[in-house]
Amino acid sequence: MVDAGAPVAVEAPKPEAPSTPYRASLPLRGSELYLPSWFTAKKGLYDLVVHFHGEGRWQEANVEHAKLNVAIVSINLGLGTDPYSNTFKSPEVFDKLLADVQAEVAKAGRADGTPRLHRLALSAWSAGFSSVSRVMTDAVTERVDAVLLADGFFTNFSNVKKRTVNEAGLERFARFTESARKNDKLFAITHTTIPTGPYPSVQECVVKLLDMEHMSKKQCSIDGPRPKMHQFYAVDDGSFHIQGFQGVQAADHVRQLHAMGETTYPYLKSRWDKQDAEAAAAR
């Protein structure tokens, strides 16, 4: 006899073990692709972050910390701005990089369908900004949904003696800022207070950008996400964000890279998660 009302023990389904991360070198010198263990490309659509400057392991850690469901390419070309600027002189180089990423995502076998690029973000630390500046032609800027910069945002002086920052070199980023303020794009910058000599510091360039946009800083005093990181002001307007941190040493500069998973990447996760939720609700 069996009591039909008695609970029946049913073994709970075991969750599938996450796949291992996927890594691959790409044809472009100094570039490597990383897919986190939870990477999925539904109906073949995948999101991509292209990061300029810094060893791949640091961006792997940042993506892991922010739990971003993205493919990330880290491009490390050494010291100085010249390699990052010269490598992307021709627009075809970036187009070829995107094509190589798509081929490698297909090779990884982790896309549900034929892989196709969905959303694109550009990320950079320090000298890597030179690549972002090169890559962001009008055509590419239209495709880019987010720009995330860690202590790397530069132009030249129009007057060196007076340290007058050249507005012309920042105009396209002022336009991107305007789009971000309307939530059409995401633009996030963090920086230290490291002084520079013959070229404007990131802090000076940010001040000029805010002046061009008629925006002001909100003073604060906040312990940052890492030891020895202290934030002294913030700017938040729509999807435009700046976090200013004290620090004038090389170690302070490097912390900006290591902390991207806690400073700028969470903005990207929040934005893309919200877009995904809205798209799901609309279906």
Task: Answer whether residue 2 shows pLDDT above 70.
Answer: no
Q: Which residues contact 170 (CB under 8 A, 6 or more apart)?
A: 155, 205, 208, 209, 212
Average pLDDT of the segment spanning 143-166: 95
207 closest CA partner among 186, 188, 235:
235
What is the share, in percent, of the chain residues with pLDDT greater than 90?
88
- Per-residue pLDDT reduced to its tens digit, 114-132: 999 999 999 999 999 999 9
Q: Which residues contact 104 (CB under 8 A, 6 or more apart)?
A: 24, 26, 33
pLDDT of residue 206: 97
Average pLDDT, the chain: 92
Which tokens belong to 74? 């880290």
Higher pLDDT among residues 197 and 234, named by residue:
234
Give the phi and the psi of residue 102 in degrees, each rounded to 5.
-60, -40
pLDDT of residue 53: 97
Residue pair 98/65 in contact (Cβ under 8 Å)? The answer is: no
Q: Where are the domains of the chain?
A: 22-282
> How far is the C-alpha of 202 from the C-alpha of 192, rounded, in Å?
8
Question: Which residues on neighbouring strands pair with residue 72, listed in sequence order?
Answer: 34, 49
Residue pair 63/48 in contact (Cβ under 8 Å)? The answer is: no
Average pLDDT of the segment spanning 156-177: 94
pLDDT of residue 86: 96
Adjacency order of strands within the sheet including 218-223:
22-25, 31-35, 71-75, 45-52, 116-125, 144-150, 186-191, 240-245, 230-237, 218-223
pLDDT class of 50 with cuts at 50, 70, 90: very high
- Per-residue pLDDT reduced to its tens digit, 13-44: 443 445 799 999 999 999 999 999 999 998 99
pLDDT class of 283 with cuts at 50, 70, 90: confident
Which tokens belong to 137? 């032609």
Task: Answer whether residue 197 shows pLDDT above 90.
Answer: no
Task: Answer whether residue 6 shows pLDDT above 90.
Answer: no
Q: Domain spanning 22-282 has what CATH number?
A: 3.40.50.1820
> How far is the C-alpha of 262 from the C-alpha of 148, rounded, in Å?
12
> How far is the C-alpha of 174 from the C-alpha of 185, rounded, in Å?
12
> How far is the C-alpha of 15 from the C-alpha of 185, rounded, in Å?
36
CA torsion angle for 264, 266, 272, 274 (degrees, to 10)? -130
Average pLDDT of the segment spanning 208-213: 97
- Per-residue pLDDT reduced to its tens digit, 221-269: 999 999 999 999 999 999 999 999 999 999 999 999 999 999 999 999 9
